[in-house]
Amino acid sequence: MSLLVFGSTALDSIATPKKKNPRLLGGSGSHAAVAASFFAAPKLIGVVGTDFPRKYISLLERHRVNLKGLKVREGKTFHWAGEYEVNMNNRRTLSTELGVVEGYSPVLPAAHRKAKYVLLANNPPGAQEAIIEQLDKPKFIVADTMDLWMNVAMNDLCSLLRRVDMLVLNDSESRQLTGDDNVVSAMPKLHKLGPRYVIVKKGEHGSILSSRRGLFVAPAFPLAKVEDPTGAGDSFVGAMTGYLAKTGGPIDASIRRAILYGSVVASFCCEGFGLSRTTKTTRTEINQRLRALEKMTRV
C-alpha cells in the first residue's frame, strides 16, 4: 500500500579521528526513505536548497523514492556537521545550518494525500502535524521524534502524539518525556499521550514494542564493527514502516517481523558512513541477515 515519508533531507559532514566525510546525503527523511525502499516505493516530503547535489537526487531515484514532494527552494540545504571521539561512542555537533528549512511549511501534492501508511520521521512536531492535517483517511501513522523537541516544542509534540498510531523514540527520550527511567513502567505513560503502539529503541541492545498485545522484546543485529551509527534510528523506523506498508494487512500480524527488518536495515546503516552501506545492500542480503537474526534469537 502507499507509503509517505516526511523527514529532513540534509547534508551531513561527519568527521572521525581517522577520516573526514564532508556533505554526505543525510537527514531523517533520506535515511528512512532509502530504508523503506527495500519494501515499498516511498513518497518523500521535504525541502532542499539549490546546492543539493544532483547525484543525491539520482541516488534517491534509483531507490524508487518518489521525489514529487521534495521541494527545491532558493538557498542552502540543511547542513549538519559533527565529529566522533576516538572510541566512536560519543558524537559531538560542530555546527547546524538550517538553510532552506527555515520558514518551510510542508505542502502535500494532491496525489500524496491519500497515502495509507505515513512515517513522520524526525522533524519539528508542528510540521509533522501539518502533514496529518493534509491527509485523507490514513491507515497507520508512525512518528519519530527527538529530545530537542521536548526542550523547545513540548506543546506541539503533545498535540502531535494525540493523532498518531505509533510513537518511536529512544530510551533517553522516553526518560525525558515521562520522567521514568524504567522503560517498562514508562510504557503506560507513553500510551497515555496518545499512541496505541510505542517502540523504545535501545541502540545496540535492541528495542521494546508495547501494544494492546503486550510487550515484544526485539534484538538488534549484533555487529562486530560499527562505522557510523548516524541515521540508524531513521533506517530502523523506515524499514519497519516500509514493511508494514508492503504487507498492508492488520498491524499486529506483521509488526514483529517489521521490527526485525528495522533492526537488520539499521545494522547495514551502521556499517558505513551516511548512506554508503545502506545504498549498497539488496533485499536478498537483507533477507539473509533477517534469517540469521531469527536463528540467533530462536530458543
Q: Considering only residues 71, 146, 216, 276, which one is a binding residue for a copy of itself as defined by CB under 8 A?
A: 216
Neighbouring residues of 68: CB distance < 8 A, sequence distance ≥ 6? 43, 109, 111, 112
Q: How far is the CB of 166 from a copy of itself (least distance, A)?
A: 18
Cell numbers for 194, please give them.
Answer: 496518545
Q: Identify the helix (H) or strand (E) that includes residue 261.
A: helix 251-270
CB of 221 to a copy of itself, least distance (A): 9
Quick check: 296 binds a copy of itself (CB under 8 A)?
Answer: yes
Q: Is position 202 an interface residue for a copy of itself (rule: CB under 8 A)?
A: yes
Q: Which cell numbers hold the place of 262?
A: 528495522
Rounded Cα distance, 23 and 269, in Å: 17
Strands 207-211 and 10-15: unpaired
Q: Where are the alpha helices (DSSP H) in 153-192?
A: 154-161, 171-178, 183-192
Residue whose CB is less far from a copy of itself, 207 or 235: 207
Site for a copy of itself, residues 143 to 172, rule: CB under 8 A? none
Of 35, 208, 264, 275, the one binding a copy of itself (CB under 8 A) is: 208
Among 92, 114, 205, 280, binds a copy of itself (CB under 8 A): 205
Identify which of residues 50 and 182 has a Cβ nearer to a copy of itself in the complex. Answer: 182
The stretch near a copy of itself (CB under 8 A) out of 97-105, 126-134, 147-155, 215-223 is 215-223
**Residue 212 sits in the site that holds a copy of itself (CB under 8 A):** no
Asked if residue 295 binds a copy of itself (CB under 8 A), the reply is yes
Told to check if 90 binds a copy of itself by CB under 8 A, we report no
Stretch that binds a copy of itself, among 30-38, 41-49, 50-58, 213-221 (CB under 8 A): 213-221
Nearer residue to a copy of itself within complex by CB, 104 or 216: 216
Q: Is residue 18 close enough to count as binding a copy of itself by CB under 8 A?
A: no
Complete edge-to-edge strand list for the sheet that includes strand 10-15 = 20-26, 10-15, 79-84, 91-97
State the helix-helix crossing angle for 154-161 and 125-133, rounded to 10 degrees.
30
Are the C-beta atoms of residues 240 and 260 closer than 8 Å to each other? no
Interface residue with a copy of itself, options 11, 36, 183, 198 (CB under 8 A): 183
Q: Can you tell me the distance from the alpha carbon of 250 to that of 247, in angstroms, rounded to the nearest whole number?
A: 9
